Structure 1
């Protein structure tokens, strides 16, 4: 049976080659789409690592300029007390510019036992930062006042950086830095990685540093945790308080919920573009496959009628046409799978191998389903051809 089918396919190799090429291109595009979908889904399943509801971001320009550090700290401590005295304010924290769901980034590197790790998200935060975002502490502790006099600069890392650096070992108490580094940092805690770029982005690795006496010279954002249901009237009051205190500063208030929504939309743009392209391609392949099979039936009426005349059933004729299509799809998918499997083997784009494999399997199933659907109706039409009518036309 298969030998006969391969012979029929080979006799129409030029026509079938074009059809296989369409299937191959469809598979490769679908592989990219499904791999990206699995990557997004894999990230979506990971915990957010923070509570963003009822958290606002105050952006301000550093309007107070002085060389006296004590005066600078007094200025911002007074601002802190003023904001915390407002109703509906639970906690605030001065932070670096790369707040959750913002487009600002601050990357750096770190060395441990000769191993250098790049692209680490660096955050500067106060002791109250953990309470504002309700971060999940996995090991050790968060910053406190004792860290101001610590021999080694304290640092808190997330679980992604901990896994890359220490594996399954405990990270608390370990010193980070090269062998020749005199200013090594001591890990005092490990937190759950924060998905700062939205639900669909890969979180971390990240490390957190405690603010010092000179940090107010460059900090320009405040995270404010407010009571649930805080309305626009309170937001206006908070804005006036900031504007009156920092008269020469541009003040802007944002909500983390709105920033997360915008960040998610931005992250989904590549998925939407690929989805549109793949949809048009799949439609073209489906129409092409359907048209080729329909054309083959009209060209092969004599062959089909002869098979029916010598005893072939309608189901066997239909199965033959469907089988030919599935064999063509299999040949195209073998070539496509060869290229697709190179991505996990070569660790392209630094994604987990499981994501590529899941994307490849979904693409294979989709192509098979598409070919099956497109060949069933022409196969049914072929099965309905009467032997006498087909032979009479010949």
Structure 2
């Protein structure tokens, strides 16, 4: 039966060629939508690695260049003044803010291994303030001051990627280049492994991440002051805080931003292009559905004599209906096969790093089910109408 259907499809290859092309293009679009949807859903299920409720970032800004000596002393006074406020539960320092695309990276080649990671700086109190999870070792502490090494913390992804078969604690993760004898080179020793710190939000994949220690007492950097506030802080606290700071150090400007607001803003920036792509994809799929419906309607209308003859020879209406639907589904599968030949090259060639085989097959199956269901839906009504003719009406149809 199926070989007979394929032969009939081949005999009408010109009419079916357009349908196959439409299906192949639509399938690629549906596949892309499925990839983005499944990827983002999976990413949203992964914990951030920190808490953002009741967390605020106070940024001290200066019009000119930051002087680590004079500005650093004033910065310490600002930190001490903010810490004394009764509304502040906890306070710590952090370099690159959460939910913003502020990045610091480091990469180097060691033998045949390329090491790349995101890096950030925070003080001894930050991990507790952010409610991070320690997996191995310890957090930063006073024992890391005045050492001949730099203490660092690495996340679980860093360990899985660069130290999959060994203990990373106590290891030096920086490349010491003996050829650069004029440059002071300090080892960076891992003292702890944390679960994760997804600085860029839920829709960004997990990456190797390293924290470097900042000594709050000796810090000369202009870091963000991360404040954990009481849940019952009133609405005028922000204004009172900024007024106090302008009185303490009027030569600076200040911004006071909620982590939750930064998260919402970043999600909007990330999802808006996805939503626009989704709307465009929906219109394209609608146009393809209308095209399939129209082409199939015309196809069935031109075959009314054939349908009437088959009915006169004893074929049932349901049998003819199934044949019409089966023809379109086979045509759809041919279009899907053509699209598959092109799409399968993406994971084979590694064009997109995030498109692994698991994501590819899940997206392919989802797109396949959607496309076959759409084709069956488009074929159902025209086939039902055509088989509604009696044999005598169909044989006299013009």
TM-score, with length taken from structure 2: 0.92
The more displaced of 258-267 and 240-249 is: 240-249
| Residues 82-128 of structure 1 deviation map (CA, whole Å, 9 limit, x = unaligned) | 111101101112221x211123222222555652223x221011111
- Following superposition, the deviation at residue 279 of structure 1 comes to 0.4
| Residues 22-43 of structure 1 deviation map (CA, whole Å, 9 limit, x = unaligned) | 0000001111111111111121
Q: Distance in 2 between matches of 1:37 and 1:222?
A: 35
The correspondence for 1:190, drawn from 186, 190, 193, is 193
The more displaced of 180-189 and 283-292 is: 180-189
Q: Which has the higher helix share?
A: 1
Match of 1:37 in 2: 37
| Residues 161-206 of structure 1 deviation map (CA, whole Å, 9 limit, x = unaligned) | 1211111533211111225364221001111222222222113321
- Following superposition, the deviation at residue 148 of structure 1 comes to 1.1
Match of 1:131 in 2: 128
Match of 1:235 in 2: 238
Q: Distance in 1 between matches of 2:79 and 2:361?
A: 51
Gap change, CA 1:66 and 1:337, over 3 Å in 2: closer
Q: Distance in 2 between matches of 1:268 and 1:102?
A: 15
Q: Distance in 2 between matches of 1:215 and 1:371?
A: 68
Q: How does 1:117-266 map to 2 (within 5 A)?
A: 117-118=115-116, 120-178=117-175, 180=177, 182-212=185-215, 216-266=219-269
Q: How does 1:355-366 map to 2 (within 5 A)?
A: 355-366=359-370
- Following superposition, the deviation at residue 374 of structure 1 comes to 0.7
DSSP 3-state at the match of 2:396: helix
Q: Distance in 2 between matches of 1:152 and 1:283?
A: 62
Q: Tell me, yes or no, if structure 1 residue 8 matches structure 2 residue 12.
A: no
| Residues 200-250 of structure 1 deviation map (CA, whole Å, 9 limit, x = unaligned) | 211332111111489744324211111113222222222122222221111
Q: Tell me, yes or no, if structure 1 residue 378 matches structure 2 residue 382.
A: yes
Q: CA RMSD in A?
A: 2.1
Q: Tell me, yes or no, if structure 1 residue 267 matches structure 2 residue 270.
A: yes
DSSP 3-state at the match of 1:349: coil
Aligned residues: 391
Contact 2:148 2:186 in 1 (8 A): no
| Residues 128-168 of structure 1 deviation map (CA, whole Å, 9 limit, x = unaligned) | 11122111111111111111122221111111112111115
DSSP 3-state at the match of 1:22: helix
Match of 1:105 in 2: 103
Match of 2:18 in 1: 18
- Following superposition, the deviation at residue 342 of structure 1 comes to 1.4
Gaps of 5+ in 2: 179-184
Gap change, CA 1:376 and 1:85, over 3 Å in 2: same
Q: Distance in 1 between matches of 2:33 and 2:287?
A: 17
Q: Distance in 2 between matches of 1:187 and 1:28?
A: 45
Q: Tell me, yes or no, if structure 1 residue 335 matches structure 2 residue 332.
A: no
Q: Tell me, yes or no, if structure 1 residue 294 matches structure 2 residue 277.
A: no
Q: Distance in 2 between matches of 1:68 and 1:56?
A: 24
DSSP 3-state at the match of 1:189: strand
Gaps of 5+ in 1: none
Q: Distance in 1 between matches of 2:64 and 2:274?
A: 44
The more displaced of 146-155 and 250-259 is: 146-155
TM-score, with length taken from structure 1: 0.93
- Following superposition, the deviation at residue 298 of structure 1 comes to 1.4
Match of 2:181 in 1: none
Gap change, CA 1:315 and 1:200, over 3 Å in 2: same
The correspondence for 1:369, drawn from 363, 366, 373, is 373
Contact 1:83 1:89 in 2 (8 A): yes
Contact 2:79 2:225 in 1 (8 A): no
Contact 2:124 2:215 in 1 (8 A): no
Contact 1:124 1:208 in 2 (8 A): yes
Gap change, CA 1:7 and 1:260, over 3 Å in 2: same
Q: Tell me, yes or no, if structure 1 residue 61 matches structure 2 residue 85.
A: no
| Residues 233-272 of structure 1 deviation map (CA, whole Å, 9 limit, x = unaligned) | 2222221222222211111100000100011111112321
Contact 2:68 2:220 in 1 (8 A): no
The more displaced of 99-108 and 298-307 is: 99-108
